[in-house]
Chain A
Amino acid sequence: MTRSWLRAVTRWRGAFLLCVSGCAQAAEQDTPHPLVTSHSPAGFPLGSMVDLSPVDNALTEPRAQLGKRLFYDTRLSRDGSVACSSCHRQEHAFAEDKSISIGVDERRGTRNAPALVNLAWGASFFWDGSVRTLEEQVGKPIAHPDEMGLSLAAAVARVAADESYVTAFVEAYAEPPSDETLRKALASFLRTLVSGNSAYDRHLRGDGSQLGEPERRGEALFLGGAGCFHCHPAGMLTDEGFRNNGTFTPGGDAGRQLFTGRAGDLGKFKVPGLRNVERSAPYMHDGSLPTLEAVVEHYDRGGLGDLTTDPQLEPLALSPREKADLVAFLRSLTDPEFLSDPRFRP
């Protein structure tokens, strides 16, 4: 009898453990993967995504999760056809493979969708740097007639009609949805898009096995003779500056000048960071260069030759091998973990 009791207990225990395990799996599926971390990759500038969030929008998990939900929600566009994620796709480093983005009613924009990577460290946003905060930035595409085409007021009304959204906003901001909290939530999610585990990053952290010979030669060129470092310094690979990089031609997009009105800003665009650049083709503000090879050729020529080109841009006369090495180095900036990170999925 004792033995039979033990067998029964064992069976029940097994069943109990099975239940616990199964329940835990179910709970895990229901619980979003945490987006917010308080550390930043080695070699990054001081401050984590949490440290760098503004005082009036401190980064918290509920805010970031709410922002992620909004990021993937097509209801934020006028006809429900477009979400932020339509033009900012994770597999393309949150850029897209089109030269120019297509918005509601198949309307074409004017510039290439920029990659959304390591924005927590950004000093200004958009190709022309016309906004200084992510909270301001995220509202613009929603309202732009060629992008999502929906007023922020209308977007808030749609969100407020969804009880689950209202609950999430109250949890995140202790108030119902509003223009301000909607933008803050989206900005919070964007701050969590941190990429810092490419072969180059591991190389920076001291793992000497990460870069092969071509990549190392390319790195030396990048940080040396090719002069790429002038605008893409080691580390974040952007100095957050604005340059006319030789893509401007008369009559073309005036870039930062449209924002500042200054003659010297003609054809200037923001210097982008380069992590995952391999996956964010096509390149430049207008998506005019389809491949990394084309980018290297562009700089090797010294740009298109307009007189407004930055004085530091001069023909490089790189050899074919040097060009290939530069491309190899740029490919070492790919962070596969970031590109497939389940935390960033809807």
Chain B
Amino acid sequence: MGDRFGAGVLGMLLVALAVGCGDANSNAAGDGSAAAGSSGAPATAETGGRAAGGLAAGGAAGAGGTTVAAGGAAGAGDTTAGAAGMSGHGSLTGGSAGAATGGTTGGRPELGACPEMPIARHGTGVMLELLVRPMFEGKPLVFAEENPVSSGGTLTPLGLRFYISEVVLERPAAEPLPVDVVAANGTPAPYGVHLFNAEDVASGVLRVLAPTGDYTAISFLLGLKQACNTRHPDANRAPLSATSQMTWPHTGYLFLRYEGRFAPGVTGAGGQNAGSAGLPPAIHMGGNLYEALAPRVRVVANLSVTASAAVPRNLHFVMDEAFKGATAEVDLSGFTGPNEENVRVGERLRLSMPGLQLFQLGS
């Protein structure tokens, strides 16, 4: 793979992502309108592949500035291999069009492209590094350690993994721009997928290769497009092999997996595995082979990619929001995934996502 893509990528500019951090929030609403819909509009996203989704679904930033909206379908654009993808502009369809390449056909999975070695869209570009940081109650969530809970007790995360793929940058008055998820050496990541694993420090850096320019939002699938979701783990290398710990007897990949232990304070109630109100012991989102259900997450923030010193940005994963979604009252009557409580909890999170700010872009 390195030889195949190396030449083009070696020429890339390892230059800066200069970011207007200070005014990102205030600018976001206005700037976001061009590509992403009306400024300040409520999120209209739908979750899951049943509805055509796309970049427009999330709306733009509200008063909170750097915001997240989620929704849309996995099929928001087959942006991996193929000649059409080479331009970097062709295949992604924002708004309501929703080219559902990852959708379903007659209830059966559509086996679209999920090449192990995606073809690079952009021969050159800037390495944009996003440092994925789980947060809880406004503080970094320390993996495998006891994190104090404000209401008492401690939370010890024992596992936290999720996939990020199909990354798109939005820019004013132009088509949204699909970009490649890349490895540290700039070559496209296998299957175009990044697996964040809280136990693996190296996985905490999400890298994409972006042309220089000013962007108003970043969006991505929190999970896999259907063409990847239906690939069998035994036929895959990392990060889609069984050692990803995102697979089972293949019912489709988990898109997000969390397990943790809540220990009540000395005067608290609850106990092992029971969690506490709002702190479920496990969340398994995904695990459905037959529907394209990976939600598209959209983070509105000004990103100015220029050719100067590289400045990584923090991409916060807000556990509070994950717990909020996982415990929300939602209608699960249409749920067709594995009949496991942890997966049903994950489905609550998925269905709740349009109202959550699961990811936030920090400085």
Give residues in A with beta carbon < 8 Å to B: 43-47, 123, 223-224, 227, 229-230, 233-236, 239-241, 260, 262-265, 307-312, 314
Contacts and interface: CB of A to CB of B under 8 A. Distances in A.
Interface in B225-281: 233-237, 241-243, 245, 247-250, 259-261, 263, 271-273, 281
23 contacts: A44-B234, A45-B234, A45-B237, A45-B242, A46-B235, A123-B243, A229-B248, A230-B248, A233-B247, A240-B243, A260-B144, A262-B145, A263-B156, A264-B145, A264-B158, A307-B271, A307-B272, A310-B259, A311-B282, A312-B259, A312-B282, A312-B342, A314-B273
Nearest to B263: A307
A312 B156 CA distance: 14
A311 B248 contact: no
A81 B247 CA distance: 44
Interface in B310-347: 340, 342
A233 B236 contact: no
Interface string B6-44: 000000000000000000000000000000000000000
A235 B243 contact: no
List of 6 A-B pairs having minimum Cβ-Cβ separation, nearest first? A264-B144, A311-B281, A262-B144, A223-B249, A264-B156, A307-B272
A73 to B, nearest CB: 33
Contacts of B236: 45-46
Given A46-B236, A310-B158, A311-B260, A235 B282 contact: no
A293 to B, nearest CB: 24
Contact of A46 (B145, B241, B245, B263): B241
B156 A233 contact: no
A308 B281 CA distance: 12
Contacts of B247: 233, 239
Contacts of B340: 227
Contacts of A312: 259, 282, 342
A234 B250 CA distance: 8
B338 to A, nearest CB: 9
B146 interface: yes
Contact of A262 (B143, B159, B237, B245): B143
A239 B245 contact: yes
Instruction: Please classify the interface of chain A as helix (H, G, I), strand (E, B), loop, or mixed, using the class held by over half of its residues.
Output: loop
A265 B271 contact: no
B233 A233 contact: yes
Nearest to A222: B249
Given A45-B237, A262-B144, A264-B144, 11 more contacts: A45-B241, A46-B235, A46-B241, A233-B248, A234-B248, A235-B233, A239-B245, A260-B144, A309-B273, A310-B259, A311-B273
Contacts of A227: 340
A235 B240 CA distance: 14
B157 interface: yes
A263 B145 contact: yes
A235 B248 contact: no
Contact of B144 (A45, A239, A240, A263): A263
Interface string B274-303: 000000011000000000000000000000
Given A44-B234, A46-B236, A263 B146 contact: yes
Nearest to B274: A311
A265 B340 CA distance: 25
Contact of A309 (B242, B245, B272): B272
Contacts of A260: 144
Contacts of B159: 241
Contact of B243 (A239, A262, A311): A239
B249 A311 contact: no
Nearest to A302: B273
Contacts of B248: 223, 229-230, 233-234
Interface string B143-168: 11110000000001111000000000
A233 B158 contact: no
Nearest to B234: A235
A43 B242 CA distance: 12
B281 A264 contact: no
Nearest to A230: B248
A235 B236 CA distance: 12
A260 B144 CA distance: 10
Nearest to A42: B234
A264 B157 contact: yes
**Which residue of A45, A123, A260, A265 has the most chain B CB atoms within 10 A of its CB atom?**
A45
Contacts of B241: 45-46
A269 to B, nearest CB: 14
Contacts of A46: 234-237, 241
Given A233-B242, A239-B242, A262-B143, A311 B158 contact: yes
B257 to A, nearest CB: 10
Contacts of B144: 260, 262-265
Contacts of A309: 272-273
